[in-house]
């Protein structure tokens, strides 16, 4: 191996210069992405995920982020990217700038290691006289291939779409692990080998904990070993054993990272069955249909790599599912084409090593997302990792062409090859830059999807959600009605949960428009297609509660908390509905569950709200000691948790504590009732608060007496209402006197003419 080491001893300045070129090119091409908005899955995974909203960096906050998924469930799901989201949030909150910068840096690091792996691969071939290129030329080819990959328009989705950091981080650790493996194979010393192989294993685990499709690294490494290093009979057993061990590790990771406590074999089977078979419940296709459709999609991916025309690139697609081997006929053609590629790659792997490995690497790394698992059919970001070595084929082929014409002294053809390479680089970079602009806002993105996939209801539903969030109700309904027309036309297959979301958005829009009957009708229709939508159950619970149908409200909330047991707000609303039936002890149980979750997730406003409701429950059962103790515990909580302690801004922090709780109208209300014997100061503060915040007194009192809030329980105020009214009117009277005095004084102010007379 010393031979390889001496061959790879290339001047360090070339690495630095090539890294600088990669950095400059990527920075320029992605410079227009830095202030782009959140999109689509960014919301549940980042914006709305309380477990990554770090206020402080503590062991508990890190543990909470690592051991929950994007939907608040107890599950170790892609913890590495989630930790980086949490760090971004800690420093910049929900400002997207730091998130985009991080994604670009990850892309740059990945591109650099792609360059290193390309370079090592070419040097292996050069050392065995299987290529005529010199070491420096190998490095240049590697750079060209890495640039082709890094600036290709298909990578936009993995870089600009913030939540797809999961895919880009998995690819980054995956390619670093491959680099470490190759280095380990090239090193001669035992210690160096152990270090690099150990690093390879560590980076592989990091890749798997970024996204599960990275489990296929051992298979990629085995194929690399066979093609580029050769394999002996002795190594066959070694690699088969390694693959089997890696397969067991991969399955274990996939199982244990979903929060299951596996004890016996049938449980593992049950979990895998759930992940593979149950996922087809809502899909508009069967497993067989997916297996038939995916070859067409793989061929389309290959076409997009060679011909990335803007009109063909889209977040969504209008792909028609293959129902048989010959329907559509492109199914059979694509399947034959993929099988031919596979056959030829295996048959000619000794003669066409780079091409064979590129094709096998592409197919192997599509196994998880493009075979039998019931995922959605198509996404461009799935090619971020599998396509890597195809760009080495393109760069290597172009340089071979250039070398051939150079040897033949064909100057014109040489010039044309160079012109072609430059044209590819310029056109790719320009296409990617322009493609990035489509991601500026959700509206621009989904409108682009809509233009390219008009029969897909998904971009219309996504647009309706965007319009709903921005208060554009008519625009939201317009998109939903067109989507409903597509559903009713039966011209395309649509998965059930998307139809459910369609009617959920109808219901949510009508709810925001205060058309509650229409809202309820559409929400009930939504459940016919997706009974597992906790958002729909929650909104129905609110509507039933507002109508006075408390029993139906409780049923709806119970369904919501059964589906999503990690949202404290749901338990709070359930407790409020149960409280309305007079079942105070049961309501207390719901509130306590919500309080535990809210405290764990550091949702301070919700902690305060639930504590008020718990206080109301104790008051309802005449347990005034525990009612008072609940408020005391609430005060202790805010003294400890909100806001962040800061020695240099102690006065500001004390003001914030006062703002968080001690000036809260509901806190003052409960204190006035619980400490009635000495409540004048609390009532006075409450009256001052109402006046200073310009709140309508009658509206405030009516809200309390009607007690129709879906979240907050107001205590009975019969004992204090007269005292509060008296204080309020006294303070209003004094305020009026003060204002009248000021008005009188202002009329006697000296004028400019008075000053002129004095002069």
The single residue listed with the structure tokens 């009975």 is 716
The string of pLDDT tens digits covering residues 511-524 is 999 999 999 999 99
Q: Is the model more confident about 638 or about 112? A: 112
At 327, give phi and psi (nearest 5°).
Answer: -130, 100
Strand partners, 324: 327
Q: Dihedral (C-alpha) 110, 115, 116, 122: value to the nearest 10 degrees?
A: 150
Q: SS3 letters for 383-406?
A: HCCCCHHHHHHHHHHHHHHHHHHH
Higher pLDDT, 10 or 574: 574
The two tokens of residue 229 are: 């290093």
Q: At what angle do helices 96-127 and 12-29 cross, to 10 degrees?
A: 140
Q: Quickly tell me which residue has 């093609």 as its tokens.
A: 227
Query: How far is the C-alpha of 198 from the C-alpha of 208, rounded, in Å?
Result: 16
Does residue 2 come out as left (phi exceeding 0), alpha (psi in the -120 to 50 range) or beta? alpha
Which SS3 state, helix, strand or coil, does residue 749 take?
Answer: coil
For residues 553 and 542, give the distance between their C-alpha atoms in angstroms, rounded to a whole number: 7
Alpha-carbon gap, residue 341 to 350, rounded angstroms: 15
Q: Which helix (H) or strand (E) holds 221?
A: helix 217-224
Backbone angles phi, psi at 531, to 5 degrees: -80, -5
Q: What is the dihedral angle through the alpha carbons of 18, 23, 25, 30, rounded to the nearest 10 degrees?
A: 160
pLDDT of residue 90: 93
The pair of three-digit structure tokens given for residue 339, joined into one six-digit string: 């099988």
pLDDT at 372: 85
Residue in 140, 134, 83, 143 with CA at minimum distance from that of residue 112: 143
Between 395-399, 563-567, 719-723, the lowest mean confidence (pLDDT) is in 719-723
The burial of 11, by beta-carbon neighbours within 10 Å (0-12 exposed, 13-18 middle, 19 or more buried), is given as: exposed
pLDDT value at 263 more than 90: no
Other CB atoms closer than 10 Å to residue 643's CB: what's the count?
Answer: 17
Residue 8 has a pLDDT of 45
Q: Which residues contact 557 (CB under 8 A, 6 or more apart)?
A: 537, 538, 541, 570, 573, 574, 577
Q: Where are the alpha helices (DSSP H) in 645-717?
A: 650-657, 665-674, 680-692, 697-706
What's the mean per-residue pLDDT of the chain? 87
Rounded CA-CA distance 87/407 in Å is 54
Best CA proximity match to 545, nearest among 580, 511, 510? 580
**CA 206/CA 209 separation, integer angstroms:** 5
Residues 6+ apart with CB under 8 A from 545: 553, 573, 576, 577, 580, 710
CA atoms within a 13 Å half-sphere pointing along the CA-CB vector of 87: 9
In order of 59, 342, 351, 649, the CA distances from 357 in angstroms are 43, 10, 11, 60
Rounded Cα distance between 683 and 720, Å, is: 8
d(CA 546, CA 523): 15
Statement: residue 750 has pLDDT above 70:
no
Q: Is the pLDDT of residue 63 over 50?
A: yes
Q: How do residues 361-398 score in pLDDT, each as one tens digit?
A: 999 999 999 988 888 899 999 999 999 999 999 999 99
Query: 324 in helix, strand or coil?
Result: strand
Class of residue 492 by CB neighbours under 10 A (exposed 0-12, middle 13-18, buried 19+): middle
Distance CA 423, CA 690 (A): 68
Residue 240 confidence (pLDDT) above 80: no
**DSSP class of residue 647?**
G
Structure tokens at 242: 């390694």
pLDDT, residue 717, reads 85
Angle, helices 233-256/190-208, rounded to nearest 10 degrees: 40
Residue 572 has pLDDT above 50, yes or no: yes
- Buried b / exposed e over 427-456, threshold 16 CB at 10 Å, is ebbebbbebbebbeebbebbebbbebbeeb
pLDDT digits (tens, 9 = 90+) for 689-718: 888 888 888 888 888 888 888 899 998 888
The domains located in the chain, with CATH, are: 455-565 (1.25.40.10)
Residue pLDDT, tens place only, 578-598: 999 999 999 999 999 999 999
Instruction: Please state, in angstroms and rounded to a whole number, the distance separating the CA atoms of residues 171 and 176.
Output: 8
3-state SS record for 39-84 = CCCHHHHHHCCHHHCCCCCCHHHHHHHHCECCCCCECCCCHHHHHH
Please check the confidence at residue 676 and state whether its pLDDT lies above 90: no
| CA 308 from centroid of its chain's CA atoms | 26
**Lowest-confidence region among 56-60, 106-110, 292-296, 469-473:** 56-60
653 pLDDT band, cuts 50/70/90, is: very low
d(CA 210, CA 35): 25
Please say whether the beta carbons of 188 and 468 come within 8 A: no
Nearest to 139 by CA among 29, 131, 383: 131
Q: Which residue, 468, 466, 507, is CA-closest to 484?
A: 507
Q: Which runs of consecutive H residues, i.e. helices, occur in 707-759?
A: 721-747, 752-758
Q: How far apart are CA 612 and CA 588, in angstroms?
A: 11
- With a pLDDT cut of 90, the percent of the chain lying above it is 57
Token couple for 450: 């809509």
What does 493-527 look like in DSSP terms, one character per residue? ---HHHHHHHHHHHHHHHHHTT-HHHHHHHHHHHH
- At 147-205, the pLDDT tens digits run 999 999 999 999 999 999 999 999 999 999 999 999 999 988 889 999 999 999 999 99
Residue found under tokens 């997009």: 304
**Which of 707, 693, 706, 629 is CA-nearest to residue 659?**
693
- Give the three-class secondary structure for 327: strand
Tokens of 8: 């790879």
757 pLDDT band (50/70/90 cuts)?
Answer: low
Q: Which residue has the tokens 């300045």?
A: 13
Distance of CA 428 to the CA centre of its chain: 27
The pLDDT confidence band at residue 420, using thresholds 50, 70 and 90, is very high
Give me the half-sphere count of Cα atoms (radius 13 Å) on the Cβ side of residue 575. 28
């Amino acid at each position: 191996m010393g031979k390889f080491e001496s061959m790879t001893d290339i001047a360090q300045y070339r690495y630095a210069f090539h890294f600088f070129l990669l950095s400059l090119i990527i920075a320029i091409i992605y410079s227009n992405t830095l202030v782009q908005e959140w999109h689509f899955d960014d919301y549940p995974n980042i914006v709305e995920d309380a477990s990554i909203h770090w206020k402080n960096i503590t062991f508990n906050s890190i543990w909470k982020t690592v051991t929950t998924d994007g939907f608040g469930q107890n599950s170790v799901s892609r913890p590495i990217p989630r930790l980086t989201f949490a760090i971004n949030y800690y420093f910049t909150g929900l400002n997207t700038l730091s998130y985009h910068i991080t994604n670009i840096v990850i892309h740059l690091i990945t591109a650099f290691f792609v360059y290193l792996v390309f370079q090592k691969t070419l040097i292996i071939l050069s050392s065995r006289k299987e290529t005529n290129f010199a070491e420096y030329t190998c490095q240049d080819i590697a750079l060209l291939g890495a640039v082709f990959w890094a600036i290709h328009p298909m990578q936009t989705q993995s870089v600009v779409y913030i939540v797809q950091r999961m895919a880009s981080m998995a690819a980054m650790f995956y390619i670093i692990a491959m680099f470490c493996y190759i280095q380990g194979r090239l090193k001669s010393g035992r210690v160096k080998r152990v270090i690099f192989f150990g690093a390879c294993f560590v980076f592989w685990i990091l890749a798997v904990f970024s996204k599960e499709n990275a489990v296929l690294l051992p298979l990629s490494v085995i194929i690399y070993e066979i093609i580029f290093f050769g394999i002996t009979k002795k190594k066959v057993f070694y690699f088969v054993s390694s693959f089997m061990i890696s397969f067991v590790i991969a399955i274990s990771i996939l199982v244990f990272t979903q929060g299951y406590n596996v004890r016996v074999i049938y449980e593992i089977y049950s979990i895998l069955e759930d992940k593979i078979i149950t996922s087809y419940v809502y899909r508009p296709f069967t497993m067989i249909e997916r297996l038939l459709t995916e070859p067409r999609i793989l061929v389309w991916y290959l076409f997009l790599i060679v011909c990335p025309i803007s009109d063909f690139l889209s977040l969504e697609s209008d792909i028609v599912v293959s129902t048989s081997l010959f329907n559509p006929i492109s199914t059979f053609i694509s399947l034959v084409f993929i099988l031919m590629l596979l056959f030829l790659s295996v048959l000619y792997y000794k003669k066409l090593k780079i091409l064979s490995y590129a094709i096998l690497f592409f197919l192997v790394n599509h196994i998880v997302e493009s075979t039998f698992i019931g995922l959605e059919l198509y996404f461009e970001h799935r090619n971020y990792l599998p396509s890597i070595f195809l760009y080495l084929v393109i760069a290597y082929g172009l340089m071979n062409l250039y070398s051939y014409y150079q040897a033949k002294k064909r100057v014109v053809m040489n010039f044309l090859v160079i012109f072609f390479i430059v044209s590819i680089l310029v056109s790719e970079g320009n296409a990617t830059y322009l493609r990035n602009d489509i991601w500026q806002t959700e509206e621009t993105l989904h409108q682009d999807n809509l233009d390219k996939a008009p029969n897909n209801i998904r971009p219309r539903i996504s647009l309706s959600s965007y319009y709903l969030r921005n208060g554009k109700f008519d625009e939201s309904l317009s998109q939903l009605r067109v989507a409903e027309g597509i559903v009713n036309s039966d011209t395309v297959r649509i998965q059930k949960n998307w139809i459910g979301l369609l009617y959920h958005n109808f219901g949510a829009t009508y709810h925001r428009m205060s058309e509650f009957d229409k809202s309820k009708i559409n929400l009930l229709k939504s459940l016919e297609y997706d009974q597992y939508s906790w958002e729909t159950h929650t909104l129905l619970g609110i509507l039933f509660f507002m109508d006075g149908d408390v029993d139906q409200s409780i049923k709806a909330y119970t369904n919501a908390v059964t589906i999503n047991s990690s949202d404290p707000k749901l338990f709070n609303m359930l407790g409020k509905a149960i409280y309305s039936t007079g079942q105070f002890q049961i309501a207390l149980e719901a509130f306590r569950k919500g309080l535990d979750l809210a405290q764990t997730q550091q949702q301070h406003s919700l902690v305060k709200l639930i504590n008020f409701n718990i206080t109301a429950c104790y008051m309802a059962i005449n347990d005034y000691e525990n009612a008072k103790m609940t408020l005391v515990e609430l005060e202790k909580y805010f003294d400890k948790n909100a806001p962040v302690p800061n020695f240099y801004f102690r006065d500001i922090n004390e003001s914030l504590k006062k703002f968080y709780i001690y000036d809260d109208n509901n806190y003052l209300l409960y204190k006035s009732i619980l400490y009635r014997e000495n409540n004048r100061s609390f009532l006075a503060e409450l009256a001052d608060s109402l006046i200073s915040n310009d709140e309508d007194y009658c509206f405030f009192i009516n809200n309390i007496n009607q007690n129709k809030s879906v979240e907050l329980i107001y205590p009975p105020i019969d004992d204090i209402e007269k005292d509060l009214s008296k204080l309020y009117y006294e303070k209003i009277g004094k305020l009026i006197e003060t204002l009248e005095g000021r008005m009188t004084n202002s009329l006697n102010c000296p004028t400019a003419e008075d000053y002129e007379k004095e002069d």
